[in-house]
Structures are given as C-alpha cells and as structure tokens.
Amino acid sequence: MAAAAPLLSVENLSVEFRTRDGVVKALERVSFEIRRGETVGVVGESGSGKSVTAFSIMRILDPAARITGGRAFFDGVDLMAIRESELESRRGRDLSMIFQNPRTALNPIRQVGRQIGDVLLRHGGVGRGEVRSRAVELLAHVQIPDPERRYWAYPFELSGGMCQRVMIALALACGPALLVADEPTTGLDVTTQAAIMDLIDELAQAKQMATLLITHDLGLAAEHCERIVVMHAGHVVESAPTAELFANPRHPYTAKLVAATPRPGVALDDLAAIPGGLPDLRGDLPACRYSSRCERYAPFCDDPLPVQEPAEGHTVACWKPL
Amino acid sequence: MTAAALRHARYVVTENPITFVAFTMLLILALLGPALAPYDPLKSDTANTLKPPSARHWFGTDQLGRDMLSRVMVATRLDMAIAFSAVALSFAAGSLAGACAGVFGGWTERIVSRISDTIMAFPLFVLAMGIVAALGNSVFNVILATAIINLPFYARMARAEANVRREAGFVEAARLSGNGTMRVLAVHIYPNCLPPMMVQASLNLGWAMLNAAGLAFIGLGVRPPTPEWGILVAEGASFILSGEWWIALFPGLALMLAVFCFNLMGDGLRDLIDPRRRT
C-alpha cells in the first residue's frame, strides 16, 4: 500500500485572498498526501485554512482568491492546471464534497430524489429510465427509511441529519475516488454525528474511497482517521499517523491541541486552552506563524522553517520540536 | 406525483375562495364572452338609446343603443389578452436578463441595470404613450409598450434574487457535482427566484390592465367601436354629467374587479409555486 502512488498529492499549495485592506495569505506551501481508501483528517482551529484547502482542491474558491503556487495531483492529473470544463466532468464523478450545513447545500425547491438523479444523469452513465430506481437505491443505501416516499421530499421536510444523509448519497452517487468532507457533522447533534460518521466510514470502506475529513474536533479525527494533518494559520505544522500523533506530538501547537482535547479520565478543568490567537495573515509574517504564541520561541525560529521527519510518515515543520 | 400536485392545487383553491371564484369568472368571460353575451355588442338600436339599467338591459344601453352588458362581457377577452401577453413578455425577458445579470455580474449586470434605470427615469405612462405613438397605433404595440415599462421591475427583482442565491450552499454543491454555469443558472438559481417573482407578476397583471385601459382611454391602441373597458369608460365619461352614469360605471367596475382579483391572486400563486408553503 505504501509503495502505491498517492491518490491525491498536494504540493506546496499557496492561496491568497486579495481584499480591500491587503492580501491575506490564507495558505502557504501546504503539502500532504492521501492514498487510495485512506481517511485523512485535517484539523486546526477556525481560520487555520482547513476549508480553504478543501475549496482549493475542488477549485471553488471565492473570486477574490488566487492560487499563487503549488499543485494538487489527483490520479496523476494536476487539478490546479486543468481546464474548467474538464474539472466540471470530474467534480461529482471522481471527487465529491459534502458541507457543514446540509440544509443550505440542497436546492430548497427541488425534490431530493431528483437532485440525486441530476448527478446520476450528469455523470453516472445511467439511462433516463433507471435514474429513479437508482436514486431510491442510493437513498436506501444511506439508511433513509422509506426511500420511495423520501424521493419526493423537499429538503425542508427532512431533518438536518436526513439532509446530510441525502448529501452523502448525492456525493457518493457516482462512486468517487475521493470524498472531501468539510465539517460534515458540525451542525448536527451528537447522536446524529456518530451515525453520520459511521455511515461515511462504512461507505468509504465498502467502496475503497479515500476521505479527506476536515474538522476542528481532534477527537472526531482521532476516531475516524488513519492520519492527521494539523494546520495552523495556513501552514501544515505537523502530519503523522493518528496513534503516533497522539503519542508523540512533536510540534508545540499539536501538543497544546492534544492537551486541549477532552478525553476520558481527564477532568474538564485540566484541559488547557491555547494562549493567544491566530496572527493577522496580512502583510509580512514570521517564518513560523506560531512563533508569537510559542513558549519555545528562540531567535533562530525566524529562519525559514525546516521540515523534519522524526519518524516514518511523521513530518513536523519546526526548529525546536518537542 | 400528479395526485400530490392535484391535492395541492385543491388546497390552494380552498384557501383562497374569493380569488378563485373571481378568477374563474374572468376566465370564463374571456374564453366564452361573445357566446354568452345576450346581444351583439356592436349592433346599434336607435329606438333604445341611453336607457338606464333594466331587466332587458342589465347594464343599460349607450348612445347608439348598444347593450352595455354585452359590451363589457365581450371586452374581457381583449383586456385579459393584453394584460397577460404584456406581463408574460416582460416576465420572460426581464427575469432572464435579470438572472443573468445577477449571476454573471460585470458587463452583463451593468448593461441590464443601465437599461432598467433608463426606462425607470421616464414617467412610465408617458413612456408607454410615446412608444405606442412612435411604433404605430395597434394592439400589439400597446402590449409591447406595457411590457417595456414593466421590464425594469422584473429585471431588478430577478437580479437581486439571483445575486443572493449565487453564493448559496446549494449552488456551490451543484457546481461541485459537476454542473456548468449555465445549468446551475437554469436548474438551481432561476427556479429559486420564481416564487417572489410570481407575486410581482400577478400584481403586475393589474397594472398592465390599467395601463392598457389608460392608453385606450386617451385614444391609443384599441379603437372604437371595439369593446374595451378603457374605451367604454372614455365613451361613458362624457355622459356622466348629463346623468347617464351607467355607461362609464359598469366597465369601470369590471376593470376594478379584475385588478382586485389579480392582486389577490398573488398570494394564491405563491402558495402554488413555492413548495415550502405546501404544508
């Protein structure tokens, strides 16, 4: 498995937003890989660039955003370089995405079954006659009770969890190789959260689909991902297999993040908040964007960051790793 | 599906009984007016000129002895046709141009907005008069003029609605499942702009009808002896002072009822179009 070429390989991706009061360097030299069938988590606090990473891969960034450098090879094709029309034929077929808020991600005045049918007709090579039965099948697949009837339901007639199931059915309709899940459970209550995540896991396993799980919940990532990429202020600070990351966090930020994550046997009072906030991403930034919050800061931290590999598959971008 | 649609239609009708009855009446008159009219609306009867309402002539007769009831009934078709085609024309053109402006922005938006602003800079009725005068005095040109003066309302509304929805989650999701810009516009953005626009359209039917009647009143578009509510009111206006009130009153009432009905229809139409109101 390790020898196989990765399904998605993001290399030195940089994204800027040109705003009225300056250029925001949202992503800088972001690199990571996902292998076929693997689930990779991207974690970090709000504003660390997790969603921008996802949107960049799908190339649905805001018009104010510019991809200023880097490549993202998907199955050998650079997604940043291909034409929009080619991208359109890949979106929904080879790579799909599900969002944070399923309610707004469905067209409010179109029956959910027909929305799934739209994707099938666009990519699935399904004849007009079979679209309906195929869509009902997909609804049943994501464990929606009474799929025949739900086919005709409008999104407002379904609960948030149901809508997310429909979104999943929609995203998986054409059997994509990669699913980008941008905080798929944030808007849902805890029990629904678990059910939805289990569903994604199960379907990903059944179809050998790679999943990029974007979340601010380290616990959720720990439970579902094989590897975790930690982001801070537009940088990838650390990337490691899940167990390794929790056992030996090397980057000071990761260590703080792990310490701030609730887990069994630790009283809530013992959870330490990470001091400081994200730096302003406009203008000149220090080489290490965590330096202003870091207790281990030393003058040489301002030199361009090294990427060290303390263990197999474990990388950390820091001069003074733990 | 069809059963559900029928059930929904029945629900909408029972929720808005007055509108439904009034609209059905207008529709019947428009379709069958000439067949239902008791007299030939154009046949004069010199023995019975300027007769007040009676059992024989419910709405009285005019200066040539023509039966006012028949004339008002027969006029329904022409008035409805003018209003409907004018509104359909401006709805189609305005909403398409507006939706494109809202989605594409840039030059498309600038051109559409400036055209709307230019039209709205004129007093609309005067503009309509000017258009009919310039293009020629015909029913088609009245329709065209009415459509043009209503265009900005649709264009601006569609632009605003499309602009809001351009960034909506479901539009993003549609793009993510591989839809191109045109398909996203046609299937996802445009239909979502329709419910508020339908309300606008039905209010507009009333204005369009008043506008057409107004043009006819001052002698543009439809010409006598063709029965048309605006002309009937114009003909009757000169007799009000001498006490023959019925000639102007009944066509005026018909006009008022029709406009009133269209205004009520706005609500019913929204119920019909917007699935979120089907509960």
- pLDDT tens digits for A157-173? 888 888 888 888 888 88
Give me the pLDDT at residue B130, please: 92
pLDDT in tens, B43-60: 777 777 777 788 777 887
Give me the pLDDT at residue B116, please: 92
- Domain coordinates of chain A in residue numbers? 8-316
Model confidence at A309: pLDDT above 50: yes
pTM for the full model? 0.75
pLDDT band at B278 (very low <50, low <70, confident <90, very high): low
Residues of A in Cβ contact (< 8 Å) with B178:
88-93, 119, 122-123
pLDDT in tens, A86-120: 888 888 888 888 888 888 888 888 889 888 888 88
The answer to whether the Cβ–Cβ distance between B177 and A90 falls below 8 Å is no
Residues within 8 A of A (CB atoms), B 155-194 only: 168-170, 172-180, 187-188, 191-192
Considering only CB atoms, A122 lies closest to which of B4, B179, B276, namely B179
Crossing angle of helices B68-104/B229-240, nearest 10°?
130
A8-316 carries CATH number 3.40.50.300: yes
pLDDT in tens, B92-123: 999 999 999 988 888 989 999 999 999 999 99
The answer to whether the Cβ–Cβ distance between A92 and B192 falls below 8 Å is no
The answer to whether the Cβ–Cβ distance between B177 and A119 falls below 8 Å is yes
How does the average pLDDT of chain B come out, rounded? 84
Model confidence at A271: pLDDT above 80: no
Per DSSP, the residues of A208-275 read T-EEEEEES-HHHHHHH-SEEEEEETTEEEEEEEHHHHHHS--SHHHHHHHHTS--TT--GGGPPPPP
Residues of A in Cβ contact (< 8 Å) with B176:
58, 60, 91-92, 96-97
Q: Which residue has the higher pLDDT, A29 or A275?
A: A29
Model confidence at A229: pLDDT above 60: yes
Give me the pLDDT at residue B275, please: 66
Overall CATH class of domain B2-38+57-277 = mainly alpha
pLDDT in tens, B225-246: 888 888 888 888 888 888 888 8
Q: Please state the ipTM of this predicted complex.
A: 0.74
Q: Report, as an integer, the average pLDDT of A125-148.
A: 86
Q: Report, as an integer, the average pLDDT of A116-137.
A: 84
Give me the pLDDT at residue B113, please: 92
- Where do runs of H (alpha helix) occur along chain A? 50-58, 84-90, 112-123, 128-141, 147-150, 160-172, 190-207, 218-224, 242-247, 252-259
Q: Which of B165, B177, B179 to mutate to test the interface with A (most CBs of A within 10 A)?
A: B177
The answer to whether the Cβ–Cβ distance between B276 and A108 falls below 8 Å is yes
Considering only CB atoms, B188 lies closest to which of A58, A101, A107, namely A107
Rounded to whole angstroms, the Cα distance separating A278 from A212 reads 23
Give me the pLDDT at residue B148, please: 93
Residues of A in Cβ contact (< 8 Å) with B162:
none
**Which DSSP helix (H) or strand (E) runs through A9?**
strand A8-19
Nearest to B209 by CA among B260, B157, B154: B260
pLDDT band at B2 (very low <50, low <70, confident <90, very high): low
Q: Which residue has the higher pLDDT, B121 or B264?
A: B121
Q: Report, as an integer, the average pLDDT of A141-169.
A: 87
Considering only CB atoms, B180 lies closest to which of A58, A88, A118, namely A88
Closest approach of chain A CAs to the CA of B11, in angstroms? 18
Closest approach of chain B CAs to the CA of A65, in angstroms? 15
Give me the pLDDT at residue A259, please: 85
Give me the pLDDT at residue B173, please: 84
Q: In the beta sheet, which residues pair with residue A66?
A: A16
| Under 8 Å between Cβ of A220 and A291 | no
* Secondary structure (3-state) at A279: coil
Q: Which residue has the higher pLDDT, B110 or B182?
A: B110
For residue A170, give both structure tokens. Answer: 């929609």
| Under 8 Å between Cβ of B259 and B209 | yes
| Under 8 Å between Cβ of A105 and B170 | yes
Per DSSP, the residues of B92-133 read HHHHHHHHHHHHH-HHHHHHHHHHHHHHHTS-HHHHHHHHHH
Give me the pLDDT at residue A1, please: 42
Cis before B225? omega within 30: yes
The answer to whether the Cβ–Cβ distance between B169 and A105 falls below 8 Å is yes
pLDDT in tens, A42-78: 998 888 888 899 989 888 888 888 899 889 999 888 9
HSE-CB for B54 with a 13 A CA cutoff:
9
Give me the pLDDT at residue B144, please: 93
pLDDT in tens, B140-159: 999 999 999 999 999 999 99
Rounded to whole angstroms, the Cα distance separating A190 from A14 reads 35
Model confidence at B207: pLDDT above 90: no
Give me the pLDDT at residue B63, please: 78
Most confident of A116-130, B13-27, B114-128, B200-214: B114-128
pLDDT band at A227 (very low <50, low <70, confident <90, very high): very high
